[in-house]
Chain A
Amino acid sequence: MPPILEVRNLAVRFPSAEPVKGVSFSVDPGEMLAIVGESGSGKSLTALSLMGLLPRQARPAGAILLGGRDLLGLSERELRRIRGRDIAMIFQEPMTSLNPVLTIGAQIVEVLRIHEDLSARQARTRAIELLDLVSIPEPGQRIDEYPHQLSGGMRQRVMIAIAVACNPKLLIADEATTALDVTIQAQVLQLLDNLRAKLNMAVVLITHDLGIVAQWADRVVVMYAGRKVEEGLPGPVFDHPYHPYTQGLLSASPRLKANYHYRDGPLSEIPGSIVSAAQEKGCSFRPRCPVARPACAKTVPELSSISHGREVACPYVPVAKETFHVAPVGR
C-alpha cells in the first residue's frame, strides 16, 4: 500500500535561521509514527509544515505529499479544505485551542458543517456520537458545556473529537499528552490508539517522551537540530540505537533504566546543549558527541540505510550485521 504521507527533503527557512534542514519520512495508512527530539530539534516546525501552519516569515521547501498531492504547492484556500478533513492536529494545551465562549458542541458542529453537508440537527447528533467515541461520559449533557467546565483530560478528548470529526486520514498529535497527568496520559494514548485502529487513521506523534514512543509507536524518527538522525522500529532502535545521540538519549533516561538508583552511580549524560549545533558546519551533534573525529566538522553525514526501514546519519557507528532477531512490533 502506498504511504498516506510522504515528506521529501523538507526544509523550513527563516530569514536568519534554518531550523528544519531537509527531513524525509513517510507514514503508512493506519500507522503510528513517532517523531522524537528535544526542544530545538525541529519536530514541532515539521508538524506545523504538514498542516500549512508555519509562521508567516517561514519559507518551507521540499515536498509534502498527502495521497500524492504536494501540500506545499497549494493555496491557502485549498489548504483550508484539507485541514480538518484530511489532516487534523491536536496540541499540547487544549485550553488554548478551544474557544472559551463557545460550548464544546458548537465547536464540534462548526467543523462538521464546514466540511460536510449536514443540517444543524444532523451535525448535533453526530457531535454527540463523537463525544461518545472519545469516551466522554454523558455526551448528551456534556455537549452543552463550556471548556472551563471540563478537566484537562476531558478537554483533550474534546480536541480529539473535533480532530477526528471528518475521519481524517492523518492526525498529528504535537506533545498532546505532555501536559496531562500520567494516569490521564495513559487513557488518552489508549484512546488515540483505539481510534487509529478503528478509523484506519495514521497518527504522527510528536513527543520528547521515549517511554511513550517505546510503548505506542509503530515506527520512530529521531530528530536532532533540524535533521533526522535515525529511523527504525521502536524495538530495534531502543535495543540497539546506532546514532551516538540516540544512544546518549537512551542511556540518560531514568525511565528506560528500571531499577537503577542514584546509589548505583550517576546517570550517563550528554554533555553540553543543543545550542552548540547552531554554528556547526558538519554534523550538528559533533560538539556533544563522544565519538566525533575531525572529519565530522567538515561535512554533514548522509543518512544511510542499515537494514530494511532502518536508517542512521553517522558513518562511524560500528554497525554489525543485524545478527539479533527482531520481531516486527505493532499492528
Chain B
Amino acid sequence: MSLLSVDSLSTHYPASGGTVRAVDGVSLEIARGETVALVGESGCGKSTLGKSLMRLVNPSSGRVSFSGSDVTAMSNRQLQTIRRSVQMIFQDPFASLNPRHTIRTILTAPLAVHAIGERRQREAIAARMIDYVGLPADALDRYPHEFSGGQRQRIGIARALILQPELVICDEPVSALDLSIQAQILNLLVEMKTALSLSYLFISHDLSVVRYFADRVLVMYLGRIVESAPTSDLWSGAKHPYTQALLAAVPDPARRKQAAPITGDLPSPLNPPAGCRFHTRCPLATDICRSEDPALRQFGGGHAAACHHAQ
C-alpha cells in the first residue's frame, strides 16, 4: 500500500474574473521510503498541491489518503494526529522560524503541541536533534538571526524531523541557498531519509537538483501532471514536449550559446487554454490538441505522459 495516495485532487481559488484552477485533477502515489519530486514553473500549482495534501489549504474536490486513512474527510482533531506524521520544510527557513524564540523553544514547540514527554525529555530530544543535523549544542540557546541561511535550513529540518514523521514535504528547500551550502543540505536530507526511513515529496523548479535527489519525478503544468517517470527514464526519454522543453532549458555547457527554449509565457491559470493546456507553446500541436484534453497514458515501466503525440 502506498504511504500517500492522491486521487483526482483539485484546489480552486476564487479570483476576480473567475476561478483559478491551481490544482486541477491530480492523482499521485508515494511509496514508503520513496522520494518523489514535483517539478514545474512558477504558477503551475506545485506549492498549492503540497499544501493541499495536509489541508493547509482545503482542496475543492478529490481524495487524499495517508496510510489508508482519508485525510480529506478528517475533522480538525483527527488532522492533528496525521500532521504529526507529515511535516514540511520550506524554502526560506527564516520566514518560518519565530525570530523571538530560541532554537530550544522552536524545536520543543512541536513536541509540546503533540504532548510528547515532559519538559526535560523534550529538551533532551531537541538536544539530540540539533546534534543530528550538525549544529553545536549551544545553538539551542541562540536565536534564528544568529545563524546563516544554511544553518537555518538545518534548524528547519530539525524541527520537521523532531516528531519522527513518515513523510516530509520539502518545498524548494535548497533554492535560496548558495551552491556550496546546497550540497550540504541535500546530503543531510539523504542521510536523514536513510536513517529515519522517510519518504519525501520534493517540490522544486531546479531540474539538476531533482536529477540527483529523486527516485521518481512528476512534471506539472498549469495544475495538471503532464508526465510521471522514474528519474533516469525521464532524463533518457522524456515523452511530453513540455518536459523535453524544460530539460532543454537547463543551462548546459554542451550547448554553447545555443538555447533551445520554448517560446511564450505560462498562460494564466485563470483561463487555461482549451484542449491540451500546453498547446499554445507546443511545437507539436495539431488540431486534436486544441480541442481534446489529453489524459495521462501509461507507457510501461511506470512512465506516463499526457500528450496526444507521445510515443
Residues in A lying within 8 Å of B, measured CB to CB: 38-39, 151-154, 181-187, 189-190, 193, 208-212, 214-216, 234-235, 238, 248-249, 252-262, 266-271, 273-275, 329-330
Which residue of A is nearest B35, CB measured? A262
How far in angstroms is the closest Cβ of chain B from A200?
16
Q: Which residues of A contact B261 (CB under 8 A)?
A: 183-184, 186-187, 190
11 A-B residue pairs with CB within 8 Å:
A38-B178, A181-B41, A182-B205, A186-B249, A187-B261, A216-B257, A252-B180, A254-B213, A255-B208, A267-B187, A267-B212
> Is A215 touching B265 in the complex (CB atoms < 8 A)?
no
B292 at interface by CB-CB < 8 Å: no
Main secondary structure of the interface of A (DSSP, over half): helix
How far in angstroms is the closest Cβ of chain A from B224?
17
| In-complex Cβ contact of B246 among A183, A187, A271, A274 (8 A) | A183
| In-complex Cβ contact of A187 among B208, B213, B257, B263 (8 A) | B263
How far in angstroms is the closest Cβ of chain B from A16?
18
How far in angstroms is the closest Cβ of chain A from B258?
8
Instruction: Tell me, in angstroms, the Cα distance from A330 to B253 when the chains sit together.
Output: 11
B27 at interface by CB-CB < 8 Å: no
Q: Which residues of A contact B191 (CB under 8 A)?
A: 266
| 0/1 string, B133-165, CB within 8 A of A gives 1 | 000000000000000111100000000000000
Which residue of A is nearest B262, CB measured? A183
Q: Known contacts A187-B263, A252-B183; is A182 also within 8 Å of B249 by CB? A: yes
B184 at interface by CB-CB < 8 Å: yes
Q: Which residues of B contact A248 (CB under 8 A)?
A: 180
| In-complex Cβ contact of B253 among A154, A234, A266 (8 A) | A234
Instruction: Tell me, in angstroms, the Cα distance from A238 to B182 when the chains sit together.
Output: 19
B266 at interface by CB-CB < 8 Å: yes
Q: Known contacts A187-B263, A212-B251, A258-B211; is A253 also within 8 Å of B179 by CB? A: yes
| In-complex Cβ contact of A186 among B208, B253, B256, B259 (8 A) | B259
Instruction: Tell me, in angstroms, the Cα distance from A329 to B307 when the chains sit together.
Output: 38
A-B pairs under 8 A by CB, number:
139
* A-contacting residues, B249-282, CB 8 Å: 249-253, 255-257, 259-263, 265-266
Instruction: Tell me, in angstroms, the Cα distance from A20 to B232 when the chains sit together.
Output: 43
> Is B253 touching A215 in the complex (CB atoms < 8 A)?
yes
| In-complex Cβ contact of B257 among A184, A193, A261, A275 (8 A) | A193
How far in angstroms is the closest Cβ of chain A from B207?
7
> Is B263 touching A252 in the complex (CB atoms < 8 A)?
no
Instruction: Tell me, in angstroms, the Cα distance from A244 to B260 when the chains sit together.
Output: 33
> Is B212 touching A261 in the complex (CB atoms < 8 A)?
yes
> Is B205 touching A273 in the complex (CB atoms < 8 A)?
no
Q: Known contacts A190-B259, A249-B179; is A215 also within 8 Å of B213 by CB? A: no
How far in angstroms is the closest Cβ of chain A from B54?
25
Q: Which residues of B contact A154 (CB under 8 A)?
A: 265
> Is A262 touching B249 in the complex (CB atoms < 8 A)?
no
> Is B231 touching A254 in the complex (CB atoms < 8 A)?
no
Given A184-B261, A273-B148, A273-B151; 9 other pairs, CB 8 A cutoff? A39-B178, A181-B41, A183-B245, A185-B251, A214-B253, A215-B259, A234-B253, A252-B179, A254-B183
* A-contacting residues, B191-222, CB 8 Å: 191, 205-209, 211-213
- Interface size grouping (class) on chain B: 35 or more
Q: Known contacts A181-B41, A238-B253, A262-B213; is A269 also within 8 Å of B208 by CB? A: no
How far in angstroms is the closest Cβ of chain B from A32?
9
Instruction: Tell me, in angstroms, the Cα distance from A269 to B191 when the chains sit together.
Output: 14
How far in angstroms is the closest Cβ of chain B from A253?
6
Which residue of A is nearest B231, CB measured? A261
How far in angstroms is the closest Cβ of chain A from B144?
15
Instruction: Tell me, in angstroms, the Cα distance from A215 to B231 when the chains sit together.
Output: 24
How far in angstroms is the closest Cβ of chain B from A317?
18
Instruction: Tell me, in angstroms, the Cα distance from A274 to B235 when the chains sit together.
Output: 34
Instruction: Tell me, in angstroms, the Cα distance from A8 to B151 when the chains sit together.
Output: 36
Instruction: Tell me, in angstroms, the Cα distance from A146 to B232 when the chains sit together.
Output: 44
B8 at interface by CB-CB < 8 Å: no
Of the candidates B42, B180, B186, B191, the one having the most CB atoms from chain A within 10 angstroms of its own CB is B180
> Is A249 touching B212 in the complex (CB atoms < 8 A)?
no
> Is B208 touching A270 in the complex (CB atoms < 8 A)?
no
How far in angstroms is the closest Cβ of chain A from B239?
18
How far in angstroms is the closest Cβ of chain A from B45?
14
Q: Which residues of A contact B250 (CB under 8 A)?
A: 182, 211, 255
Instruction: Tell me, in angstroms, the Cα distance from A150 to B263 when the chains sit together.
Output: 15
Q: Which residues of A contact B212 (CB under 8 A)?
A: 254, 257, 260-262, 267
> Is A215 touching B257 in the complex (CB atoms < 8 A)?
yes
Q: Which residues of B contact A257 (CB under 8 A)?
A: 212
Instruction: Tell me, in angstroms, the Cα distance from A187 to B251 when the chains sit together.
Output: 11
| In-complex Cβ contact of A211 among B151, B205, B211, B251 (8 A) | B251
B125 at interface by CB-CB < 8 Å: no
B310 at interface by CB-CB < 8 Å: no
Which 3 pairs of residues, A with B, have the shortest CB-CB distance? A211-B251, A214-B253, A38-B178
Q: Which residues of B contact A261 (CB under 8 A)?
A: 211-212, 231-232
How far in angstroms is the closest Cβ of chain A from B121?
32
Of the candidates B35, B181, B245, the one having the most CB atoms from chain A within 10 angstroms of its own CB is B181
> Is A252 touching B182 in the complex (CB atoms < 8 A)?
yes
B190 at interface by CB-CB < 8 Å: yes
| In-complex Cβ contact of A254 among B209, B252, B259 (8 A) | B209
Q: Which residues of B contact A259 (CB under 8 A)?
A: 211, 232, 235
> Is A215 touching B256 in the complex (CB atoms < 8 A)?
yes
Q: Which residues of B contact A185 (CB under 8 A)?
A: 249, 251
> Is A262 touching B190 in the complex (CB atoms < 8 A)?
yes
Q: Which residues of B contact A186 (CB under 8 A)?
A: 248-249, 251, 259-261
